[in-house]
Amino acid sequence: MMDSENNISPLELKHYLEVKRVEIDSKLEQYLNNNTFPGRLLDAMRYAVMAGGKRLRPVLCLAAAEAVSDAGEDELLAAGCAIEFIHTYSLIHDDLPAMDDDVLRRGKSTCHVAFDEATAILAGDALLTLAFEILSEDTMRNGHRDAKTHQAIKIISRAAGPRGMVEGQMQDILAEGKTLSLEMLERLHALKTGALIRASVETGALLAGANERQYQHLKEYAQLLGVAFQVADDLLNIEGDPVVMGKSAGTDADKKKSTYPSLLGMEASRVKASHLIDRALQLLDIFDKKADPLRAIAAYVIQRDR
Amino acid sequence: MMDSENNISPLELKHYLEVKRVEIDSKLEQYLNNNTFPGRLLDAMRYAVMAGGKRLRPVLCLAAAEAVSDAGEDELLAAGCAIEFIHTYSLIHDDLPAMDDDVLRRGKSTCHVAFDEATAILAGDALLTLAFEILSEDTMRNGHRDAKTHQAIKIISRAAGPRGMVEGQMQDILAEGKTLSLEMLERLHALKTGALIRASVETGALLAGANERQYQHLKEYAQLLGVAFQVADDLLNIEGDPVVMGKSAGTDADKKKSTYPSLLGMEASRVKASHLIDRALQLLDIFDKKADPLRAIAAYVIQRDR
Q: B158: nearest CA in chain A?
A: A133
**Residue from B85, B116, B150, B158 whose CB has the most chain A CBs within 10 Å, to mutate:** B150
Lowest mean pLDDT among A254-263, B160-169, B196-205, B279-288: A254-263
Residue that wins the pLDDT comparison between A199 and A16: A199
Q: Do B136 and A118 touch (CB under 8 A)?
A: no
Residue among A126, A129, A146 whose CB faces B150 most closely: A146
CB nearest to B126's CB, from A45, A125, A161: A161
Provide the pLDDT confidence category of residue A62 given band limits of 50, 70 and 90: very high
Q: What is the 3-state secondary structure (H, E, C) of B247-296?
A: CCCCHHHHCCCCCHHHHHCHHHHHHHHHHHHHHHHHHHHHCCHHHHHHHH
Domains, chain B, ranges and CATH?
A: 10-303 (1.10.600.10)
User: Hey, are the CB atoms on B167 and A41 less than 8 Å from each other?
Assistant: yes
pLDDT digits (tens, 9 = 90+) for B7-45: 677 778 889 889 999 999 999 999 999 999 999 999 999
Residue B6 pLDDT grade (very low, low, confident, very high; cuts 50, 70, 90):
low
ipTM at complex level: 0.93
pLDDT band per the 50, 70, 90 thresholds, residue A206 = very high
Q: Give the C-alpha distances (Å, rounded to integers) separating B29 from A12, A17, A115.
A: 52, 45, 37
Cβ-based neighbour number of residue A3 at 10 Å? 17
Task: With CB atoms and an 8 Å threshold, state whether B167 touches A125.
Answer: no
Contacts of B80 (CB under 8 A, 6+ apart): B24, B27, B55, B57, B58, B59, B61, B62, B200, B204
Percent of chain B with pLDDT over 90: 74
Confidence band for B247, pLDDT divided at 50, 70 and 90: low
Count H helices, E strands: chain A?
16, 2
B138 to chain A, minimum CA–CA distance in Å?
10
At residue B133, does pLDDT exceed 50? yes
Q: Nearest CA to A49 among A74, A32, A73?
A: A32
pLDDT (average), residues B187-212: 96
Given a cut of 70, whether residue B298 has pLDDT beyond it is yes
Q: Cβ contact (<8 Å) for B128 and A128?
A: yes
DSSP-derived 3-state class of residue B190:
helix
H-helix or E-strand spanning residue B109: strand B108-109
State the pLDDT at residue B70: 67
Confidence of residue B199 (pLDDT cuts 50, 70, 90): very high
Which residues, 6 or more positions from B162, have their beta carbon under 8 angstroms from its beta carbon?
Answer: A35, A36, A37, A41, A42, A45, A126, A129, A130
Residue B34: Cβ within 10 Å count: 10
User: Span A15-33, mean pLDDT?
Assistant: 94
